[in-house]
Amino acid sequence: MGMEQTWRWYGPSDPVTLADIRQAGATGIVTALHEVPIGEIWTEEAILERKRHIEWDDSVNPCKPRGLKWTVIESIPVHEDIKQGKPSRNAWIEKYKQSIRNAGKAGIPVVTYNWMPVVDWTRTNLEMELEDGAKALQFNMSEYIAFDLYILRRKNAEKGYTGEQIKAAKRTFESMSSERRYILQNNIIAGLPGGQEGYSIDDFRKRLEEYDVITPEVYRENLAYFLKQVVPVAIESGVRLAIHPDDPPISLFGLPRVVSTESDLQYIVNVVDSIYNGLCVCTGSLGVRPDNDLPGIVERLGDKINFLHLRSTQRSIDGSFHEASHLRGDVDMYNVIVAVLKEQKKRHAANRQDEAIPMRADHGHTILDDLEKKTNPGYSAIGLLRGMAELRGLELGIEKSGVVYK
């Protein structure tokens, strides 16, 4: 059995429609109730209403199935009080538990979440022009440091960088127009698709200061506390949790990051040893670090993988990177998918109900006539269609080669 092909959909206002997604060949939808405030309960009624909209076309009479199902929730955001271990965390955790129960009642099998503090996935440039004219997402290290030092003006920020990095960032900042500086600020703190929220500069500084006393060790302990509370509820509800890696998998703004390496992932799955305490393996996020052996991670932690984001990034020597096409860049996608299919073979032999791991092509390039349309950065229809087609073809080629069965 192949991987379950899914697509990230941002709800009824997404420029990519459910009909578009079905024509692209996906059968699973990955989405969230973005309108629910962070930390508040996702009611069973709201989940079922969105599920009905995904799975049935009520615009015709009689209504007809769309050929889609809501496979993965991405994401139910974790309230900052939980991450920081504040006294109020237990009340927020109880709400999170109820959201998991309601997802289970609605029959949605996977819930993704992340443990990134303050900022979600981060890029400095949403329209990096490639040689062929396509546009890609980029994290430029000098631009990021320039923002930190000269726009945000974070206290003691310079202590986290080398002299050469500071010089490069100053040159970058001085070369930027006021418009480019404004765009950079918005890209980092105004919130990208799927991110939890945007901030003003002052609010952002205040949020960062709340983490001044939280070490990576304490932050990891707070995650363990959260998991010990919610995983038993996930087990009872039949909902497999999947934590998304830090993106990028490095410390930003001096914040603790504890989901960046294989050892981080191993710690997480050891907190509660259950397939319901699982991973979302994002090859693009983890692949930014050259010390992350992606095929090895899939081989060693495969039984805990509940969701896959398949994309590739191209690293630069200074720590910058951009989104490469899905079969290029620094990710060994061939051996990643070989390892995934071998894991699915093991699950089949063990009669696991979650044999087909849901995957989605992640962060496509903006290409063709999508260049002239309003799209969610990284989620234009044609770019993701290309990525899905490439991954689908690679998977089929691997299956036909028989390498998985040797």
Which residue in the list 264, 276, 309, 370 is annotated as catalytic?
Answer: 309
Please compute the mean of the pLDDT values over residues 181-207 and round it to a whole number: 82
Please state, in angstroms and rounded to a whole number, the distance separating the CA atoms of residues 291 and 221: 24
pLDDT tens-digit profile of 350-399? 999 999 999 999 999 999 999 999 999 999 999 999 999 999 999 999 99
pLDDT tens-digit map of 97-143: 999 999 999 999 999 999 999 998 999 999 999 999 999 999 999 99
- β-strands 125-129, 4-8: how paired? unpaired
Q: Which residue has tokens 């006393």?
A: 213
> Residues 14, 219, 276, 282: which is the catalytic one?
282
At 72, which helix (H) or strand (E)? Answer: strand 69-74
244 has catalytic annotation: yes
Does the pLDDT at position 195 exceed 80? no
Q: What pLDDT sits at residue 78?
A: 97
Residue 214 confidence (pLDDT) = 97
- pLDDT at residue 190 in the model: 73
- Tell me which of 148, 264, 362, 370 is the catalytic residue: 362
Q: What is the pLDDT of residue 21?
A: 97
Amino acid residing at 156: N
Average pLDDT over residues 58-87: 95
CA–CA separation, 258 vs 78, rounded Å?
15
Check whether 196 has a pLDDT greater than 60.
Answer: no
Distance of CA 230 to the CA centre of its chain: 20
For residue 197, name the pLDDT band (cuts at 50, 70, 90): low
363 is catalytic: yes
Q: Is the pLDDT of residue 302 over 70?
A: yes
Number of residues that make up the chain: 406
CA distance 238 to 54: 21
* Separation CA 190–CA 54 (nearest Å): 28
Task: Determine contact, residues 31/50, Cβ cutoff 8 Å.
Answer: yes
Using 50, 70 and 90 to split pLDDT, how confident is the model at 199? confident
Half-sphere exposure of 169 toward its Cβ, with a 13 Å CA cutoff? 25
Scan for tokens 């490069």, then name that residue.
168
User: Which one of the listed residues 96, 211, 219, 379 is annotated catalytic?
Assistant: 379
Pick the catalytic residue: 219, 363, 365, 370? 363
From the candidates 244, 322, 326, 365, give the one annotated as an active-site residue.
244
Place of tokens 């996977």: 110
Told to judge if 379 belongs to the known catalytic residues of this protein, a careful annotator would answer: yes
Looking at residue 405, its pLDDT comes to 79
Q: What is the pLDDT of residues 323-346, one digit of tens each?
A: 999 999 999 999 999 999 999 999
CB 5 within 8 A of CB 359: yes
Residue 20 is among the residues annotated as catalytic for this protein: no
